[in-house]
Chain A
């Protein structure tokens, strides 16, 4: 082998060695980046299992900062950084998100509902009177905003937004002087707040119609 050939062989081997090392380093960085994303990706999927109104409070405000913390704590240990985010996010995806959402949005116990029903009887009477013939007046009763459509008349308490699935059976069915049937739905949602619980009452009156308001 000539001197030139030997020089080429050595320099070629060195170049291949350097290239190999660079490739391995790039690959390991790529894998590390993907490790970080694995937990977040699963957590994002868990987010999709939550009802839209709970996604921010549960996923964005609570689980996401926890995931940041897990990755930060184990930043020097790539295997731990893969394991803990998965252990954190997988159970939430599989059952935790759905269970937590069910608890947060749970309907109050029957006794609580009855108490609120009784307390709200005055409001119900007002709604009944209104249905029985009155023209809706803006801003009376308990501060409803009144919406009219061709199919339904909706009375909604001012503190709450619309977008509620009405149950199959109304809470009250009333027949007015003209023999027309009116379905009354009472909803008592519980909204979690930072310090405790808020109870608010919403009444819907539907004029002879069971489709969504």
Chain B
């Protein structure tokens, strides 16, 4: 059972990105660009999600000498994390849904009808 996460709009936008492609590898810099977050906001969020076991971080399996670069760390959603993320995003969208106004049976058109 993953730990609870304090939901903010930034956390929600990161989770939304993860849910777009739950099995795909997500890298820090790409997430930063897609979510429109700074690295200073993104990495604490990733750390929090990883600690709560909503996501898991792994390293690319490459041969650095062959590829000429260091392996990057990527993140993927855990199954429990995916379930919790869907739940939390549902709650959040419910909370921020605009209210439905009731204008009565006639539409309020200023008497044009």
A binding-site residues for B, Cβ under 8 Å: 58, 61-66, 68-70, 72, 87-92, 94-96, 99-100, 102-104, 106, 190, 192, 194-197
Contacts and interface: CB of A to CB of B under 8 A. Distances in A.
Interface string B42-53: 111001101101
B27 to A, nearest CB: 7
Most central of A69, A72, A192 by chain B CB within 10 Å: A69
Interface in B15-58: 27-29, 32, 38-44, 47-48, 50-51, 53, 56-58
Contacts of A62: 28, 43, 72-73
Contact of B47 (A103, A194, A195, A197): A103
B57 A99 contact: no
Contacts of B69: 65, 68-69, 72
Nearest to A93: B40
A87 B53 contact: no
Contacts of A69: 27, 29, 69, 72
B83 interface: no
Interface size class of B (residues with CB under 8 A): 20 to 34
A65 B40 contact: no
Contacts, number: 77
Contact of B50 (A65, A68, A102, A192): A192
Contact of A70 (B29, B38, B56, B71): B29
B39 A88 contact: yes
Main secondary structure of the interface of A (DSSP, over half): helix
B59 interface: yes
B51 A91 contact: no
Given A91-B38, A92-B40, A195 B56 contact: yes
B39 A103 contact: no
19 contacts: A62-B73, A63-B28, A65-B72, A68-B69, A90-B40, A91-B38, A92-B40, A94-B40, A96-B40, A96-B42, A99-B44, A100-B43, A102-B44, A103-B48, A104-B51, A190-B51, A192-B50, A194-B58, A195-B56
Contacts of B71: 65
A102 B45 CA distance: 12
A192 B51 CA distance: 7
Contact of B32 (A65, A88, A102, A190): A88
B28 A95 contact: no
Given A66-B28, A194-B58, A91 B70 contact: no
Contacts of B38: 87, 91, 96
Contacts of B44: 96, 99-100, 102-103
Contacts of B53: 196-197
Given A65-B70, A69-B69, A196-B53, A104 B32 contact: no
B41 A96 contact: yes
A58 B69 CA distance: 17
A190 B3 CA distance: 14
